[in-house]
Amino acid sequence: MTNTPAPSRLFEPTRLGPLHLPNRLVMAPLTRNRAGADGVPQPIMATYYAQRASAGLIIAEAATPNAVGQTYPNIPAIHNDAHVTGWRRVTDAVRAEGGRMFLQLQHGGRVGHPDNSGLMPVAPSPVPLPETIHTPGGRQESVVPREMTHDDIRSTVADFAAAARNAVDAGFAGVEVHAANGHLLHQFMARNTNRRTDAYGGSVAGRIRFVVEVVQAVAEAIGPDRVGLRISPGNAVNGIDEGDTESIYPALIEALADTGLAYLHIVFADPDQPLFQDIRKAWPGTLIANPALGWGEPLPADGGKHAGERLLDAGADLISLGRAFLANPDLVERLRVGAPLNQVRDKHMMYVGGETGYTDYPVLAAALAGASAR
Ligand SMILES: Cc1cc2nc3c(=O)[nH]c(=O)nc-3n(C[C@H](O)[C@H](O)[C@H](O)COP(=O)(O)O)c2cc1C
């Protein structure tokens, strides 16, 4: 049984820089730990993403731009030729199904462990993650990261630019710079993780400097209309306490407003929040909003459709959904016809290799065929 759907702007075609998007639904980046131990994307990842090619845009999961930036085991990377070759298989498979893809670039900073990367994590200041961290040998205490020198900062900016060039070589339409969810760029912006007294710390202007330099270097490397930026204002994930959220993001947006970026992507966007409204007014380009659905909460029955429509009404241009796409390869079609959604299952398989809970979610036609056979 399907319900008659109300007309929805979610299914309108639109543009993103040079790209034509068939709808306004974006698959949010979702780390799934299916790469090889060397960070090389595996063929199963091509299958998974190709299954989801009907998204207006796929933002592929966080990929590491240099060795020390690796967060957890089996995270894909994008800093050598083998990574490029592995990702090319993925982008080819998605293109063959008519899809479009950006790649998220993530440096974990203090969210990392020598048992995962083989290196001591680096961060703006030697402030450890106040949580244990997943390693191949199980959860371990976090280590105190090494404070980044100016040479580290320069080379990391260059690594992001090189990773972006690699992503384009691998067939991605662009990259998303990850400045959200407590990873390195967010660590530079937050007061509790950035205790620096040099030009990269202290005032808001100092704490946003590294993010601005990374974004500008990436934009210069591959063209600004191929570059997005993800932020999570006020999100305390990974032990972040920004301190002055209300000042950081307006300053960041002012610094980048004229760069001509492809988009700004807000995690846990809430249309009723004054900060969301201020960001919408100040950001001149495309805004992708990820609704405030709660990460650890059960998925709402409509996967976030209603929340997404409210955000479109409040000025967002595109809506990203994470877990709804994870569990529904044909999410766009299901939402279009008002069909029931698969719920996330096999949670213990979210961050572990293999097909279970990854490539084995049924599409609607298969689910209906199964139901009528019973
Ligand atoms: C399994 C899983 C992996 C995630 N990995 C990433 C990631 O690699 N990069 C990122 O920015 N956010 C990541 N997120 C956050 C999602 O992109 C999204 O913001 C979050 O799931 C909330 O959206 P939703 O309610 O539509 O799922 C992840 C979330 C989940 C559940």
CB 32 within 8 A of CB 48: yes
Q: How far apart are alpha carbons 147 and 195 in whole angstroms?
A: 10
Q: What angle do CA 67, 70, 74 make, to 5 degrees?
A: 110
pLDDT at 36 over 60: yes
Average of pLDDT values for 51-73?
A: 98
pLDDT score at 353: 80
Q: Ligand 1 pocket, 267 CB below 6 A?
A: yes
Q: For the chain, give the mean pLDDT.
A: 94
- Give the model confidence (pLDDT) of 214-231 as tens digits: 999 999 999 999 999 999
Q: Ligand 1 pocket, 295 CB below 6 A?
A: yes
| Cα 265 to middle of ligand 1, angstroms | 12
Tokens of residue 51, six digits: 């299954």
| Cα 203 to middle of ligand 1, angstroms | 30
Q: How confident is the model at residue 367 (pLDDT cuts 50, 70, 90)?
A: low
- Coil, strand, or helix at residue 194? coil
Q: Ligand 1 pocket, 176 CB below 6 A?
A: no
| Cα 197 to middle of ligand 1, angstroms | 33
Q: Ligand 1 pocket, 323 CB below 6 A?
A: yes
Of 10, 26, 27, 31, the one to substitute when testing ligand 1's pocket (max ligand atoms within 8 A of C-beta) is: 31
Q: Write the residue with the smallest CA distance to atom 21 of ligand 1.
A: 322
Q: Write the residue with the smallest CA distance to atom 30 of ligand 1.
A: 30
pLDDT score at 352: 81
Q: Ligand 1 pocket, 228 CB below 6 A?
A: no
- Give the model confidence (pLDDT) of 278-317 as tens digits: 999 999 999 999 997 777 778 888 999 999 999 999 999 9
Q: Ligand 1 pocket, 321 CB below 6 A?
A: yes
Tokens of residue 174, six digits: 């662009």
Residue 182 is classified by DSSP as T
CB 204 within 8 A of CB 262: no
Average of pLDDT values for 259-264?
A: 98
Give percent of the chain above pLDDT 90: 89
Q: Ligand 1 pocket, 193 CB below 6 A?
A: no
Q: Write the residue with the smallest CA distance to atom 2 of ligand 1.
A: 30
Q: How far apart are alpha carbons 223 and 201 in whole angstroms?
A: 28
Provide the CATH topology of domain 9-373: TIM Barrel (3.20.20)
Q: Ligand 1 pocket, 224 CB below 6 A?
A: no
**Surface-to-core class of residue 22, CB atoms within 10 Å of its CB (0-12 exposed, 13-18 middle, 19+ buried):** middle
Is the pLDDT higher at 13 or at 373?
13
Q: Ligand 1 pocket, 328 CB below 6 A?
A: no
Is the pLDDT higher at 5 or at 320?
320
pLDDT at 369 over 70: no
Select from 318, 283, 287, 290 the least CA-distant residue to 304. 290
pLDDT score at 7: 78
CB 58 within 8 A of CB 99: yes
Q: Write the residue with the smallest CA distance to atom 22 of ligand 1.
A: 295
Q: How confident is the model at residue 348 (pLDDT cuts 50, 70, 90)?
A: confident
- Give the model confidence (pLDDT) of 314-341 as tens digits: 999 999 999 999 999 999 999 999 999 9
- The model's pTM: 0.96
Q: How confident is the model at residue 370 (pLDDT cuts 50, 70, 90)?
A: low
Q: Ligand 1 pocket, 178 CB below 6 A?
A: yes
- Coil, strand, or helix at residue 130? coil
